[in-house]
Structure 1
Amino acid sequence: MESYIRVVVADDQEIVRTGLTMILNAEPDIRVVGEAADGRRAVELAQRLRPDVCLFDIRMPGMDGIEATRRLAGPTVASPLAVVVITTFDLDEYVYAALRAGARGFLLKDAGSALLSQAVHAAAGGDALIAPSITTRLLKAFAGAGPAGPPSQPIDPLTDREEEVLGTVARGLTNAEIARELHIGLSTVKTHVTNLMTKLGARNRVEIAIWAYETGRRS
């Protein structure tokens, strides 16, 4: 029996939903199992279908993508789903809030089919992908939009290598790209990323990147 990455797509524009669905269904191992035109319906579908990945637009009527993400992937959710946020604008004021709400990554709608596929595969695999072209600029712009007060400190001090990996994660590099840049094995990168999540109390690499920007630990 073939195994597919099951995706729920939510966007208030039918032409966008149709386009995203066509792109994803063209992938041999991805299937869109549900579509929604607003956040409330998206949450209902996702809770019922339990897809591997939710692909949500930020701006939707009724319930926006931020609240939908919070309800499915927020800090209080017992069994969070993987949510990737898509947006029209590379400086959308809501993107930071979406990441805080638990989104595993975000893309621009014009990112292209290859990057869209990569983001879905990354999210399904427990990883995260932030569109590399806007990672630095966007996190810089919105790092100050988080809750007041200093960022939390790591449970244990970061090692020199973890600091290096931290900087590459903040730049939006994938595990494979980090391995090539730092000349270490892929499994070693995964171990360092896991250690960073544990020490920083982060649920995913997006939160690692946010922490890096909030503390000025980016490279």
Structure 2
Amino acid sequence: MIRVLLADDETLVRTGLRMILETADDLEVVGEVADGAEALAAVRSLQPDVVLMDVRMPRMNGVAALKAINREPAPPKVVMLTTFDLDEYVYGALRARAAGFLLKGSGPRELITAVRAVVDGTAILAPALTRRLADAFAERRPAGVRDAQDRLARLTARERDVVDGVARGLANAEIARELVMTETTVKAHVSRSLAKLGLANRVQIALLVRDAER
């Protein structure tokens, strides 16, 4: 059973998320909180596997809570919920190594699939979201061209091909068709590349590739 904690200051949002998640036999909502400070306390007491957390919350926002949660000895996977405002909150959550991003308007199947996927170690970001976030934040990052190129040089030629596809916002299925390989192989290449590069998700891959190409 996957244990899920909901963190959002809107009661209706939490209620909707709970109703969706509880339709899945393998998911259990173990708690609901309204701000980041409560989320940190609940992580310590309830030990959830996944936290679905709003980026913007009172008292302690989602980014600050994410950083604090990731400092815990065995932190859960944290998926940030956003209305897709491309602001410093979202950028901060990327840098703080969120396990994924979901739009608050995501459908039930997407939500349930995302929770299961992050537990398995897959970063959840829609391809279109990957591309848009990378475009929006690329100019805010320091140049770091040489450093980015050196890091990408750690990859094999095939891993680099896959990473380039990720940077273009392609889904695993699209990369598989383009490179004539299975989706399973693409997923494996993405996972190995993330580990080699010390990154947490596909958006960070896209940003690194863009830094290298400046």
**So what's the TM-score if we normalise by structure 2?**
0.85
Preserved contact between residue 108 and residue 131 of structure 1 (Cα < 8 Å): no
Give 1:139 deviation, angstroms. 1.7
In structure 2, do the counterparts of structure 1 residues 201 and 48 end up closer, same or farther at CA, with 3 Å as the change threshold? same
The one-letter code sitting in structure 1 at the alignment partner of 2:120 is G
Q: Distance in 2 between matches of 1:28 and 1:168?
A: 35
Preserved contact between residue 134 and residue 203 of structure 2 (Cα < 8 Å): no
The one-letter code sitting in structure 2 at the alignment partner of 1:82 is K
Q: Distance in 1 between matches of 2:76 and 2:33?
A: 16
1:121 partnered with 2:113:
no
Preserved contact between residue 96 and residue 145 of structure 1 (Cα < 8 Å): no
Q: Distance in 2 between matches of 1:190 and 1:132?
A: 14
- Describe the superposition over 1:26-67 as per-residue Cα deviations: whole angstroms up to 9, x where unpaired: 122211111100000011111222211111001100000001
Out of 137, 140, 148, the position equivalent to 1:142 is 137
Specify every segment of 5 or more residues in structure 1 that has no aligned partner in the other structure, as ranges.
Answer: none
Which residue number in structure 2 is paired with residue 41 of structure 1? 38
Q: Distance in 2 between matches of 1:202 and 1:64?
A: 23
Which residue number in structure 2 is paired with residue 104 of structure 1? 99
Which residue number in structure 1 is paired with residue 54 of structure 2? 57
Give 1:176 deviation, angstroms. 5.5
Q: Which has the higher helix share?
A: 2
Q: Distance in 2 between matches of 1:155 and 1:77?
A: 30
Which residue number in structure 2 is paired with residue 14 of structure 1? 11
Q: Distance in 2 between matches of 1:9 and 1:172?
A: 29
Count residues in correspondence.
Answer: 211
**So what's the TM-score if we normalise by structure 1?**
0.84
Out of 70, 76, 84, the position equivalent to 1:81 is 76
The one-letter code sitting in structure 2 at the alignment partner of 1:70 is K
Preserved contact between residue 128 and residue 206 of structure 1 (Cα < 8 Å): no
Q: Distance in 1 between matches of 2:178 and 2:44?
A: 39
The one-letter code sitting in structure 2 at the alignment partner of 1:207 is Q
In structure 2, do the counterparts of structure 1 residues 135 and 205 end up closer, same or farther at CA, with 3 Å as the change threshold? closer
Q: Distance in 2 between matches of 1:45 and 1:115?
A: 25
Give 1:177 deviation, angstroms. 5.6
Q: Distance in 1 between matches of 2:178 and 2:25?
A: 30
Out of 193, 196, 201, the position equivalent to 2:198 is 201
Question: Identical aligned pairs, as a percentage?
Answer: 50
CA-based RMSD: 2.4
Preserved contact between residue 98 and residue 200 of structure 2 (Cα < 8 Å): no
Q: Distance in 1 between matches of 2:132 and 2:197?
A: 22
Q: Distance in 1 between matches of 2:72 and 2:166?
A: 25
Give 1:20 deviation, angstroms. 0.8
Give 1:191 deviation, angstroms. 3.4
